[in-house]
A and B are shown apart, each in its own frame.
Chain A
Amino acid sequence: DVKVTQSSRYLVKRTGEKVFLECVQDMDHENMFWYRQDPGLGLRLIYFSYDVKMKEKGDIPEGYSVSREKKERFSLILESASTNQTSMYLCASSPIIQGSYNEQFFGPGTRLTVL
C-alpha cells in the first residue's frame, strides 16, 4: 500500500524554537509538497520540490525552509517558531506521468502548536 508518512501527528513547541517536520514517501515520486491548512483558508502551498536538492517557493514561504537530500524525504523547517505558525501541516507527493502533474498523495498531517 502506497504511503506518505509524517514524523509526528501532534507537536507542541515554544516560540523561538527550531522545528523540523519530516515527511517520507515510498512511491518513488518526483514531486513533494508542504502545505499548511487553516480554517477558512483551505490548503496553502509553502514549498515544493521536484527533485533531490531542488525546491521552489510556494505562496507562503516566509518563516520556513525545506530540505530534500533524498528522493523519498522532504523536510520542513521552521527556523524560529512563532505563534502564527500554529497550524496543520500536510505533506504530499505526486508522480509526473507523461509530462503532466497528477493527483497528490497526502500524509496524515502534523498539528503544530506554538506556545
Chain B
Amino acid sequence: AQKVTQAQTEISVVEKEDVTLDCVYETRDTTYYLFWYKQPPSGELVFLIRRNSFDEQNEISGRYSWNFQKSTSSFNFTITASQVVDSAVYFCALNPTSGTYKYIFGTGTRLKVLA
C-alpha cells in the first residue's frame, strides 16, 4: 500500500517557537519523491520542497528545515522561530515512480501561530 500519514491534525504555537510537522510514508518503491506544500488561507497550495529517495541529506532553507530518514520512513518539517505568516495547512505528499502519475497526499496539518 502507498500511504502518507500526518498524525498531527492541528498544532498551535506561540510566535518565535520552533515547531515540527511529522510525515510518515509507506511505499514499496525504491525510487520515489517526497514533497511538502503549504496552503495559506487564500487556498492555493504552494510548493516548498521536493526530495528524492536517494538523497537523505537534510535541507535547510531560511527558517525551514527538512529531516528525511528512510530508516523510519519519515520526512519531517521544522519551522524555526515561527511567525504568524506561517499559519497555514501543510501537506506532505509522496510520488512513487513505479510507472504511476499518482501523488499521494497526507490529510494535512493545520498550524496556527499565535502572536
Contact = CB atoms under 8 A, between A and B. Distances in A.
A58 B103 CA distance: 10
A40 B110 CA distance: 11
Interface residues of A, number: 27
A55 to B, nearest CB: 11
A106 interface: yes
Interface in B12-50: 33, 35, 37, 42-47, 50
B101 interface: yes
Interface stretch (A14-22, A65-73, A78-86, A96-104): A96-104
A72 B3 CA distance: 30
Contacts, number: 51
A92 B43 CA distance: 13
Contacts of B105: 35, 42-43
A12 to B, nearest CB: 17
Judged by DSSP, the binding face of A is strand
B68 to A, nearest CB: 16
Contacts of A45: 102-103
A106 B91 CA distance: 13
A64 interface: no
B33 A101 contact: yes
Given A48-B101, A101-B33, A42 B106 contact: yes
B43 A42 contact: no
Contacts of A42: 91, 105-108
A104 B103 contact: yes
Interface string B71-115: 000000000000000000001000101000111011110000000
Query: Which of A31, A103, A105, A109 has the largest count of B CB atoms less than 10 A from its CB?
Result: A103
A105 to B, nearest CB: 7
B44 A109 contact: yes
Contacts of B45: 90, 92, 104, 106
- A-B pairs, top 9 by smallest CB distance, nearest first, are A42-B107, A106-B45, A43-B105, A109-B43, A103-B47, A108-B44, A42-B105, A103-B50, A108-B43
Interface of B: 9, 33, 35, 37, 42-47, 50, 91, 95, 97, 101-103, 105-108
